[in-house]
Chains A and B, each alone.
Chain A
Amino acid sequence: RKEVEQDPGPFNVPEGATVAFNCTYSNSASQSFFWYRQDCRKEPKLLMSVYSSGNEDGRFTAQLNRASQYISLLIRDSKLSDSATYLCVVNPNAGNNRKLIWGLGTSLAVNP
């Protein structure tokens, strides 16, 4: 089993749709979790950190389910500019983020 698994997609959705991505991780002792966004031919950028209580930032909601070992990202009212690859990232270490485990990413295309 891969350490971090994501559905590669692509997810093709119309503008205004709600879309959700899941990511599963294998190490039950993992400490912290992130969603990064990567546009085509650009570097990854942090979208959200994922807290145990779940967190929301505008149209984006991230949730963590430790019992089932998955994190999710929900995007509401999708915009054309949301088209990108979304990377799920897991930190297995307490106290530092020196070796993060990166998923391969889920590709999202928002269509007019």
Chain B
Amino acid sequence: DVKVTQSSRYLVKRTGEKVFLECVQDMDHENMFWYRQDPGLGLRLIYFSYDVKMKEKGDIPEGYSVSREKKERFSLILESASTNQTSMYLCASSEGVHEQFFGPGTRLTVL
């Protein structure tokens, strides 16, 4: 079974802090994704990566950056957290046209 793990299930940070969210997948998938999910807005793509060191902006990249130094790991960085970045963050991975497998999510609260 594909496993996607995320570094934290719950995280509380203060405004202005730098926040790192880590995601690791164990199936050698080429594609990795970061989404946020908010009530009434659904899943929105922040960034994705289709290869090591490659990244592309999704629909809402502002305020975020990403890093993919190894194929299995995709990090989401909030350079200076703000309260409007309080959300559920979901990482996913996939191969080609096949399904996206999701991690359990990180519920981030920015105070």
Contact = CB atoms under 8 A, between A and B. Distances in A.
Contacts of A97: 31, 94, 96-100
B5 to A, nearest CB: 11
Contacts of A34: 99
A93 to B, nearest CB: 9
Nearest to A91: B97
Instruction: Specify the main secondary structure of chain A where it touches its partner.
Output: loop
Interface in A91-109: 91, 95-100, 102-105
Contact-size category for B:
20 to 34
A32 interface: yes
Contacts of B105: 42-43
A96 B58 contact: no
Contacts of A99: 45, 48, 58
Question: Which of under 10, 10 to 19, 20 to 34, or 35 or more describes the interface residues of A?
Answer: 20 to 34
Interface string A33-44: 010000000111
Indicate the member of A34, A42, A91, A96 with the most B CB atoms within 10 Å.
Answer: A96
Contacts of A104: 40-42
Interface string B19-47: 00000000000010000000011110100
Contacts of A105: 42
A59 interface: no
B61 interface: no
B102 A43 contact: yes
Interface of A: 32, 34, 42-46, 49, 87, 91, 95-100, 102-105
The 5 closest A-B pairs by CB, nearest first: A43-B102, A104-B42, A46-B99, A102-B43, A97-B97
7 contacts: A43-B102, A44-B90, A96-B50, A96-B96, A96-B97, A98-B56, A104-B41
